[in-house]
Amino acid sequence: MSATAVTEAPAAVTLAGVSKVYGRGGSAVPALDQVSLAAEPGEFTCLIGASGCGKSTLLNLVAGLDQPTSGEISVGGRVALMFQEPGLFPWLTAAGNVELALRARGVRKAERKQRAAELLDAVHLAGFGKKRPHELSGGMRQRVALARALAQDADVLLMDEPFGALDAMTRDLLHDELDRVCEGRNLTVLFVTHNVREAVRLGDRVVLLSSRPGRVIAEYKVPIERPRRIDSAPVAELAGTITDRLREEVGRHGK
């Protein structure tokens, strides 16, 4: 689940006029249209847009899992992905899942155990390394998935609605943990969510995409000091402004 660097630039992502069309002729589906976006090293960018506007497509392209129809993408450094489903191997323990990612990166066996324990500790799962995924709660499984993503020693973390299936309280805790993890690692994050408040809670910046095909229609810097709370007044206020703009966009497409 990692892609190699496209350029030797510092850890950051650049999309220049990126378009993606699936299929051909009458059945062609334009998913992205001339998307230009640059993420600074260490920047946390949230992507918001209506369902089907091309958010997952954009992440897949950045991960190198698919090619754009036109335009340029450059990614500095190693990429890791995290999805709504944790996608852990059920027959491996939590530590085993993390160790597998370390092994894929060439970490020697002698170091893997200790490194996996440190990563599980970083996501507050110390002591759960021997559990298998079915013995963990949904939130714990996503923490293991986060530890596994960190095990890839990524510079760029691509997250596609990673907390979408969790209850509000668990999500809140994971927001705090993600803040902590990002702070210490200078990770560049592209985070897709349907939840505007979550985007404002987490992001340095929120990018709004139009309905299909996805185009960047607005960008909001988030000037709110950290630590932030999802239910704080400044978060709610900016989320309200962004939601109004999103409603306008969705309304324009009659959805």
Ligand X SMILES: Nc1ncnc2c1ncn2[C@@H]1O[C@H](COP(=O)(O)OP(=O)(O)OP(=O)(O)O)[C@@H](O)[C@H]1O
Where does this chain bind Mg ion (CB under 5 A)? 56
> Which range in 21-29, 117-125, 164-172, 197-205 contacts ligand X by CB under 6 A?
21-29
The one-character DSSP state at 253 is T
Give the nearer residue to ligand X in terms of CB position, either 46 or 125: 46
77 binds, among Mg ion, ligand X, none (CB under 5 to 8 A by kind): none
Return phi, psi of residue 109, to 5°. Answer: -55, -45
Binding-site string for ligand X from residue 32 to residue 71, where x marks contact by CB under 6 A and - marks none = -----------------x-xxxxxxx--------------
* Helix, strand, coil percentages, rounded to 5, for the chain: 40, 25, 35
Q: How far is the CB of 191 from ligand X (least distance, A)?
A: 13
- Chain-centroid distance of CA 110 in Å reads 31
Q: How far is the CB of 67 from ligand X (least distance, A)?
A: 12
For position 29 contacting ligand X by CB under 6 A, the verdict is yes
Q: How far is the CB of 56 from Mg ion (least distance, A)?
A: 3
Q: How far is the CB of 27 from ligand X (least distance, A)?
A: 9
In 11-123, which ranges are E strands? Answer: 13-22, 29-39, 44-48, 70-75, 79-82
Enumerate residues 168-227 that contact ligand X by CB under 6 A. 212
Q: What is the token pair recorded at 41?
A: 């090293």
DSSP string computed for 145-213 = HHHHHHHTT-SEEEEESTTTTS-HHHHHHHHHHHHHHHHHHT-EEEEE-S-HHHHHHH-SEEEEEPSSS
Q: Which residues make up the interface to ligand X (CB under 6 A)?
A: 22-23, 29, 31, 49, 51-57, 212
